[in-house]
Chains A and B, each alone.
Chain A
Amino acid sequence: MGVVYILWLREVKKYLRSRAQIIASLGSPLMYLFVLGFSLGPVFQRAGEGSYLQFMAPGIMAMTVLFTAMFSGIAMLWDRQFGFLKETLVAPVPRIWIMLGRTLGGATVASLQGTIIFLVTLIAGFRPQNWLLVPVAFLIIVMIAVVFAALATAIGSTLKEMQGFQMVMNFLVMPIFFLSGALYPLKGLPAALEVLTHADPLTYGIDGVRGVLIGASHFGVALDVGILTAVGAGFLMLGAWRFSKIDV
């Protein structure tokens, strides 16, 4: 267990040390929140859906978690390149521990970023319906972080070069974000889009956070949590398997 802890600690330490990275990574969520939030707000209101800021704030939190968690996959490519990955791979510990330490570290960092965005949305005017449920929302945020950090580990273990990650960002991460219902309600979508949104694990994460924070859930929080748990377990297994196959 010491191994999992020290590798987790490594990720967290590196995150807390890189202030520039923390600030830079807040850029795009802030753009979405302020530009989209305030520009689409009136239209959303006129359509009878209430406050757009209330609606999209959970989506932006989840988006931040998604991007940060997926970034931990890039960190793995850096480690491969600068050699530290090799140091961990020849150590006499089962690779599953190494994988867990890294993945949980990445998930923790993503959750911390999500928490910062939560505070920013409060400044922007977002108000949770029930403050007592905020810890529950945080738990769902952590689940989203684990799901995507595990996916990032699986991808980071498979890719050998940096260029590949650009593809992953464009053809996997962006679709996951845009199909998740982060920016629009899930009801009344065209059939094709409905299928795609339902196949996106982030959809359930965001729906769960919304259910807890603003009391508006499409699927019901229990189903959301169930699906996140199942997908998280699946991705962790996939990540562990891919990680065990790394050949440096």
Chain B
Amino acid sequence: MPDGPIIRLQHVSKKFGEVVAVDDVSFDVARGETFAFLGPNGAGKTTTIRMLTTLTRPTSGTIAMDGLDPVTHPTDVRRKFGVVFQDPSLDQDLTAWENMEIHGVLYHVPRKEARERAKLLLELFELYERRDSLVKTFSGGMRRRLEIARGLLHTPTLLFLDEPTLGLDPQSRNQMWTHVKNLNKSEGVTVFLTTHYMDEAERVADRIAIIDHGKIVAIGSAAELKAQTKAESLEAAFLALTGHAIREEAVGSADRMRQMAAMWRRR
């Protein structure tokens, strides 16, 4: 295994026209650590994840994922990570099992192993009984669980979880974090997560970075962040660092499409 950080960002910026989503960000994520990336809505979290997962290119600066540049070696970089997106990415017209099956093939998991792991994970997230139902018949929470189960089907070196627990009940959240922690301990998977639940971040993360207006405003362990802001809780530290104002997110084309879809459905 090569040395050095698994993720290294150096002066990375991403602009959409006039809007600077990510502004000169630099940080490292060490091998095997659980790293929480926190920030208010629209702070640049998802854009950063999209750059790290090869979905979009930085406007300037360099990214090294296990030493490889995602811009020049996208397929090699993709081999190293797994990702659970903030937005849904399931095929609703297929069954839960078929979604797992496609993922196994896309990630080159041997057939037999993929079946065993899919069964295990669907059981873990209590979806096995419903494996042959179409995803469009699932509730929001079930879809989220399926999404997570699918993201864990292959064992990546690095796992991105972008607000994975959004809309999950406490039982499922607990299941998920226990499983993720186990993966992290037993298989040395590096975990890069974002969440709005500060208690989660505090519970699972070794280190926390806080981003606001596209810039990193603080980085360190939960204890260090609390000490730095003289706050009682991580939540108070977060508010001290990012202020109390509520943010507005720019509406992207994907959101507009979703609105359109909602209209189509109603007809």
* A248 near B55: Cβ-Cβ < 8 Å: yes
* A86: contacting residue among B55, B76, B105, B257, CB under 8 A: B55
- The answer to the question of B83 belonging to the interface, with a C-beta cut-off of 8 Å to chain A, is yes
A6 within 8 A of B: yes
Binds B, one of A88-96, A131-139, A142-150: A88-96
A13 touches B94 (CB 8 A): yes
B83: chain A residues at CB < 8 Å are 90
Chain B, range 11-27, C-beta contacts under 8 Å to A: none
Q: Is the CB of B94 within 8 A of A10?
A: yes
The answer to whether B88 touches A82, judged by C-beta atoms less than 8 angstroms apart, is: yes
In the complex, A14→B93 CA distance in Å?
7
Q: Is the CB of A87 within 8 A of B260?
A: no
Given contacts A88-B106, A91-B78, contact A248 B93 (CB under 8 A): no
Contacts of A6 in B (CB 8 A): 101-102, 105-106
Any B CB within 8 A of the CB of A219: no
Residues of B within 8 A of A90 (CB): 53-55, 78, 81, 83
Complex: chain A residue closest to B55, CB-CB = A248
Q: Which of B75, B87, B88 contacts A93 (CB 8 A)?
A: B75
Interface presence of B261 (CB below 8 A) = yes
CB-based nearest B residue for A5: B105
Determine if A31 is an interface residue (Cβ-Cβ < 8 Å).
Answer: no
CB atoms of B55 and A89 under 8 A apart: yes
Judge whether B230 is part of the interface by a CB distance below 8 angstroms. Answer: no
Nearest-Cβ distance from residue A17 to partner chain B, whole angstroms: 7
- Cβ of A162: which chain B residues have Cβ within 8 Å of it? 257, 260, 264
**CB-defined contacts of A242 to chain B, threshold 8 Å:** none
Q: Which residue on B lies nearest to A88, using beta carbons? A: B106
A163 vs B257: C-alpha distance when bound (angstroms): 9
A residues 228-248 near B (Cβ < 8 Å) are: 247-248
Query: Which of these, A2, A83, A160, contacts B89 with CB under 8 Å?
Result: A83
Q: Which residues of B contact A88 (CB under 8 A)?
A: 106
Task: Tell me, yes or no, whether A195 is within 8 Å of chain B by CB.
Answer: no
Number of interface residues of A (CB under 8 A): 33
Would you call B93 and A17 a contact (CB within 8 A)?
Answer: yes
Which chain A residue shows the least CB distance to B95? A13
Q: In the complex, are the beta carbons of B260 and A161 less than 8 A apart?
A: yes
Cβ contact within 8 Å between B256 and A161? yes
B94 with A93: CB separation less than 8 A? no
Interface contacts (Cβ under 8 Å), in number, total 96
By a CB distance below 8 angstroms, the chain B residues around A79 are 91
Complex CA–CA separation, A184 to B92 (angstroms): 42
**In the complex, what residue of chain B is closest to A87 when comparing beta carbons?**
B89
Residue B177 is within 8 A (CB to CB) of chain A in the complex: no
- Which residues of chain B from 86 to 123 have any CB-CB distance to chain A below 8 Å in the complex? 87-94, 98, 101-103, 105-108
B106 cross-chain contacts in A, Cβ below 8 A: 3, 6, 87-88, 91-93
CB distance from A18 to the nearest CB of B (A): 8
B60 within 8 A of A: no
Q: Does A84 have its Cβ within 8 Å of any Cβ on chain B? A: yes
Interface centre among B54, B76, B88, by most A CB within 10 Å? B88
A80 interface hit (Cβ, 8 Å): yes
Complex interface: chain A residues within 8 A of B251 (CB): none
Q: Determine whether the beta carbon of B102 is less than 8 Å from that of A10.
A: yes
Closest Cβ neighbor of B87 among chain A residues: A83
Q: Which residues of B contact A247 (CB under 8 A)?
A: 55-57
A79 to B93, CA, bound (A): 11
For residue B258, CB closer than 8 A to chain A, the reply is yes
A87:B103 contact, CB within 8 angstroms: yes
A83-B78 in contact given A13-B94, A13-B98, A90-B53 (Cβ < 8 Å): no
* A209: interface (CB < 8 Å): no
Say which residue of A10, A84, A92 sits within 8 Å of B90 (CB atoms).
A84
Interface residues of A in 61-87 (CB under 8 A from B): 77-84, 86-87
What are 21 A-B pairs at a CB distance below 8 A? A2-B105, A2-B108, A10-B94, A18-B93, A81-B260, A83-B90, A84-B90, A84-B91, A87-B89, A87-B90, A87-B91, A87-B102, A87-B103, A90-B53, A90-B55, A90-B83, A91-B103, A92-B106, A93-B75, A161-B260, A162-B264
| List of 9 A-B pairs having minimum Cβ-Cβ separation, nearest first | A83-B89, A91-B106, A92-B79, A92-B78, A81-B257, A87-B89, A6-B105, A84-B91, A83-B88
12 more A-B residue pairs beyond the given contacts A14-B93, A80-B257, A82-B91, with a C-beta to C-beta distance below 8 A: A5-B105, A6-B106, A7-B102, A10-B98, A80-B254, A81-B257, A81-B258, A81-B261, A91-B106, A92-B75, A161-B257, A248-B254
Residues of A at the B interface (CB closer than 8 Å) are 2-3, 5-7, 10, 13-14, 17-18, 77-84, 86-94, 160-163, 247-248
